Amino acid sequence: GQPPAYIPACRINPIDTTAAGDAFTAALAVALAEGESLADAARFGCAAGACAALRFGAQPAMPTRDEVLRMMNVDSAQ
């Protein structure tokens, strides 16, 4: 396998964490299905979870791919 990797959480001020885990898991699965490494898929999942935590509710909080990619870009710039 691969060596362990540390994947830091995105730096946000969460509003509602109800759907954060669901968004993380869904994005992780999508990235793995698209052939990404586990570490890259986890980064994508973290960004999706962060996006979801910035909105109220569950289904309405699910981010689009573009929102997740923007979160990844913003977080990497910090």
Query: Does residue 63 lie in a domain region?
Result: yes
Domain that holds residue 68: 21-77
Query: How many angstroms separate the Cα of 12 from the Cα of each of 3, 19, 63?
Result: 28, 15, 15
Please state the domain count of the chain.
Answer: 1
How do the pLDDT tens digits run along the chain, 78 residues long?
778 989 999 999 999 999 999 999 999 999 999 999 999 999 999 999 999 999 999 999 999 999 999 999 987 766
Which listed residue (22, 40, 66, 75) is catalytic? 22
Handedness of CA 41, 46, 49, 54 (dihedral sign): negative
Query: Does residue 7 lie in a domain region?
Result: no
Running DSSP on this structure, what letter comes out for residue 9? P
Query: Does residue 5 lie in a domain region?
Result: no
What confidence score (pLDDT) does residue 2 get? 76
Enclosing H/E stretch for 46: helix 38-52
Q: Is 22 a catalytic residue?
A: yes
